[in-house]
Amino acid sequence: MIRGLYTGASGMAAQQHRLDALSNNLANVNTTGYKRDTSVQKAFPELLIRRMSDDGVKTFPFGSIDVSPVVGKVGTGVEHNETYTVFTQGSLKQTENDFDLALEGKGFFAIETPQGERYTRNGSFHMTDQGMLVTKEGLPVLGENGPITIKKNNFVVDQYGRVWQNAEYADDEDRLVSMEENEWNDLEMVDTLKVAEFDRARHLKKQGSSLWMATEESGAAEIAREEARPKVRQGFLETSNVNPVTEMVQMIEVNRAYEANQRVIHTEDGMLDKLINQAVRL
């Protein structure tokens, strides 16, 4: 009976971790660049069931046999092992906003924060009054030479992450330029977006606001080069890789499994209560 109570309790705890991950995924189904979390469970060691009517080893001239053989196994429950992030590519949505950038392939935009360098797949950027490219929280987007400073309607980003501007309008800060009049005659490169990659990206730690932090397990960030470098798409955003239908189906499964474990505990508790009452009467 105690084993049944323990098994049911561990099963409920494991399902609670699954529910937390699924709920967070559904809450971020519309978050740009969000990567879904998956809760992984593992089973406790199984108990071997032996035949109890016999005992020991029987010997005969040709050898010996175990007269108490294993006749089956019984599980002892499951536990939460880890929650890890699935970094599959989300679909690209065209926005026609020059400040929206998406990565097609593995990698992360590098962001400067007060706590150090952080990484994101959310390319919904903006420009400050000083012309700095920043996240929606106002954190600078990094190029390979530092924060990127640009001028509205006077920059383009190619698929290699190189940021170009028309030198004709670059020096005059007061000269406003429209996309219609910009003929891009005198292109000069401002910088190249710093796109980071990791040996073990699954060990990156989420920090909220679509940011990840490098850990000892993930390894230090390295600038993606050549074939390993993802393509940069200007005027696009990467949607989350959450499938809401799949997440809802799994949430229903979790609720049913949780209720089943709850019924196990209730039944075992009732049986234990009867046993104690009978022992008291005796």
In a domain, 61, yes or no: no
**Domain presence at residue 100:** no
Strand partners, 102: 233
Same domain assignment for residues 198 and 144 = yes
Average pLDDT of the segment spanning 62-78:
66
Q: Number of folded domains in the chain?
A: 2
Q: How confident is the model at residue 280 (pLDDT cuts 50, 70, 90)?
A: confident
Domain that holds residue 35: 2-51+67-86+242-281
Residues 119, 196: one domain?
yes
Query: According to DSSP H, which parts of 135-243 are helical?
Result: 167-170
Give residue-wise pLDDT tens across range 231-252: 999 999 999 999 999 999 999 9
The CA distance from 106 to 212, in Å, is 14
**pTM of the complete model:** 0.78
How many Å apart are CA 155 and CA 266, to the nearest integer? 66
Average pLDDT over residues 122-146: 95
Q: Look up residue 194 and give its amino acid.
A: K
Identify which of 163, 161, 171 has the alpha carbon closest to the alpha carbon of residue 188: 163
Examine the domain organization and report whether 78 and 147 are in the same domain: no
Using CA atoms, how far residue 10 sits from 19, 215, 229, 252, in Å, is 14, 29, 43, 19
